[in-house]
Amino acid sequence: MAQIDIAGLTKRFDSGAAAVDDLDLTVQDGEFLSLLGPSGCGKTTTLRCVAGLERPTSGEIHFDGEPMVSRGVFVPPEKRNMGMVFQSYALWPHMTTFGNVAYPLRRARLDGTAVAARVAEMLDVVGLAEYGGRLPSKLSGGQQQRVALARALVNRPQVVLYDEPLSNLDSLLRSQMRREVRRLHDTLGSTSIYVTHDRTEAMALSDRIAVMQAGVVQQIGTPREIYTCPANRFVADFIGFDNLVAAEVVASDRDGALVRLGGDGPLVRCATTSVRPPGSIVELAARAGAFRLAPGVPQPGLSFRARVSTVTYLGEDLEIQVQAGEVALLARIRDADVRAATQGTVPVSGDQVDLSIRPEELVEIGA
């Protein structure tokens, strides 16, 4: 295992644009950290700099205090004691499963007995003990990914880097392989950095997540911290808050605030971390699934009436776009709950519905 310290990391390409911009990040010994963000945010460039596949423009990278990148120092990839799993499996097509997994050990000039024992051990760990003689073309996508994992881990690296390794798998295999990746991390104890644009993947795998945009870490925290307390509008939007809206504080105390959404929207209660004076403007975020139907007379601060704009059937859920004054909101409500509340009918465009949301599910951005 190793602690990875990144300080002032900057990578500029020929255009002059900074793919990674003065990034500081520490990955703790044995931690599983995900770099999460959209395409072009700098997450893969950061990973490639850690791997030694890109030479940074400036900055330093240390593994357990030993410089990999520093002034006058650039340790090549093959000397960084790490394994890497790529988006493409990158298996040698003419080599068997055994040969692919053994390749790093043979490059390290281990003797044949040690190679055979280590490969057999690793194939057993990834559940491919009976597939050592098969060529990659005779393996499924999930099995090929397991071979790639075994190859990256067979030389017992201090650091394992993952560059969107599950993006080529179907949804069922991705779910299975997520569990496998985390199991291997826990079993072998390496320090792991995982690049992905899939927030579900990052949540399922990570001890901490660093959300990136434009080469800069926007927020770093545990999956729960990222999911419930977004640091800014970008993080809230990317992590799945469907509704981002400004609100005016009407009253505030230590238990939360009564706010008006938009200029003339409904009164609702939200959880805040500090007392705000009346008239303050706060930016709030809510997931579509946080809204519930609240039949009956609307009660200020508890429920509100809105007009239906569109209804989309999603099977188990209905996605309902509503207008409350000037504020457009998206609600996602279980179809069974809608039918129970409306005596079996389904709202259509132009209908009125009454909605509620718990204060703790209306989150102040950056609080």
- pLDDT tens track for 146-161: 898 889 888 888 899 9
Residue 64 is predicted with a pLDDT of 94
Q: Which of 75, 6, 67 is nearest to 42 (CA)?
A: 6
Q: In this model, does residue 331 exceed pLDDT 90?
A: yes
Q: How far apart are CA 3 and CA 11, in angstroms?
A: 22
Task: Give the pLDDT of residue 51.
Answer: 96
What does the pLDDT look like over 212-227, one tens digit per residue?
A: 999 999 999 999 999 9
pLDDT, position 206 = 97
Per-residue tokens: 315: 């099977």
Give domain 4-237's CATH superfamily: P-loop containing nucleotide triphosphate hydrolases (3.40.50.300)
Q: What is the mean pLDDT of residues 105-134?
A: 89
Residue 187 and residue 150 in contact, taking contact as beta carbons nearer than 8 Å: no
Q: Residue 295's pLDDT is what?
A: 76
**H or E element, residue 239:** none
Least confident of 134-143, 259-268, 341-350: 341-350
Domains 4-237 and 241-364 share a fold: no
pLDDT for residue 254 is more than 70: yes
Average pLDDT over the chain reads: 91
In tens, the pLDDT along 28-64 reads 999 999 999 999 999 999 999 999 999 999 999 999 9
Length of the chain measured in residues: 367
* Per-residue pLDDT at 273: 67
Q: Which CATH class is domain 241-364?
A: mainly beta
- Enumerate residues 6+ apart whose C-beta is below 8 A from 225: none
Q: Does residue 111 register a pLDDT over 90?
A: no
- Provide, rounded to the nearest whole percent, the portion of the chain with pLDDT above 90: 63
pLDDT in tens, 297-312: 777 788 899 999 999 9
The residues spanned by each domain of the chain are 4-237, 241-364
